[in-house]
Chains A and B, each alone.
Chain A
Amino acid sequence: MPLIAITDVRKRFGANEVLKGIDLDVAAGEVCAIIGRSGSGKSTLLRCVNGLETIDGGSILVAGTHVSSEDQQLRALRLKVGMIFQQFNLFPHLTAGRNVMLSPMVVRKMPVGEAEDLARRMLDRVGLGQKFDAYPDQLSGGQQQRVAIARALAMQPLALLCDEITSALDPELVNEVLAVVGELAADGMTLMMVTHEMRFARQVCDRVVFMHQGRIHEIGPPDELFSAPRTPELRQFLGSTAH
């Protein structure tokens, strides 16, 4: 059984149908890259999986339970699926350590001491053990994004959704974040990531999904998609990204 099962998902904003029937199964431990032009619905798809948007049709199952808009179920879902955002979205009033500790303490009712241990381990894992007491605005973009990853990991999710997590970074900071993601992939974490880093997608991902105008236009192993695109749209897209 797939960990994430997306079946005929539709989503519209007003008259604008953004997802026009998406079918996608992601197995446990799989790393799945989503590529495509801006506006093709990549973010919307991830946000639907995390319940940040409600779907208008079809179904999404995560580890066998439906993603619904019902509050209790939504929270149960979010314990299983973590999300990393393009803009980091760290809590600016909390230190890096506190950012990581907050949700385990508030949601999982973990005692402070235990949460602190957990936070230190998670920050170590992303290479920021020494930044426990730093505030977000004292960290570089790359460091902030790694804290955000540690924060999501602290909830021990079954899968992570990453939406262009290196797009807001200066070029020299991209690799430190990708390295962390690469390690997670190697450790067997299930990942759905929207990315423009084609080389990374090629090296790390098991499968690449090319989205075009709200549909999955092509899907397959990275070698196949990148070296032998079947559709003109994908060919054009790959040509324009200069790789």
Chain B
Amino acid sequence: MPGGMAMAYVFEFTWILQYAPVLLKGIAVTIALTAVGAGAGLALATLCAWIRTQGPRWLRVPVVAYVELIRNTPFLIQLFFIFFGLPSAGLRLGEMQAAMLAMVVNLGAYGAEIIRAGIEATPRGQVEAGLSLAMSRLQVFRHVVLGPAMRRIWPALSSQVVIVMLGSSVVSQIAAEDLTFAANFIQSRNFRSFEVYFVVILLYLALAVILRQALRLAGERLFSRGRAQ
């Protein structure tokens, strides 16, 4: 009788000690994935944002297509396509490589939109002033436009990085050994499903809070010098 079982259920958390190494490894993998995804993803995003706003015209269409395609399909499917689908097109990736690639591609598209909005909010006079000082378009972008644009959209970009970190939990589905994978592993051993997922969800919450703070501090550092007016 299920009702009686529910009454008799006793919560059990002693397993945490036993499985601490598994959890720690999962956390490390999640952090590593997020770091790579954020670093390379933001680089890709900046490139795409540059192409969309001032890059060569013939490149804009593919970039728009990429951004729209990624933003309008689930990360899970992107991951499956990369990991399961690409091998038949000749590209075979390990689960960590596939997970990283998926995260970079995903953040690249979202970041591109955010950074583009920041760039487009640049006052026209800034660009004209730069050009009038005989800078090239690329130089104006690098030295005049990008810094203030990044400062403007840093909060939005930070939230997107947190979203990508949380979204990375699905890489467990291609057996990349992240924190969610660790949770699945532990609960398959001790059958304490509720407690395991409860603890792991709190770990994610802590990671999100810490990551958000770290990004805020990083933003303050990055943009404290040369603060415009």
Q: Do chains A and B touch in the complex (CB under 8 A)?
A: no
- A interface, CB within 8 angstroms of B: none
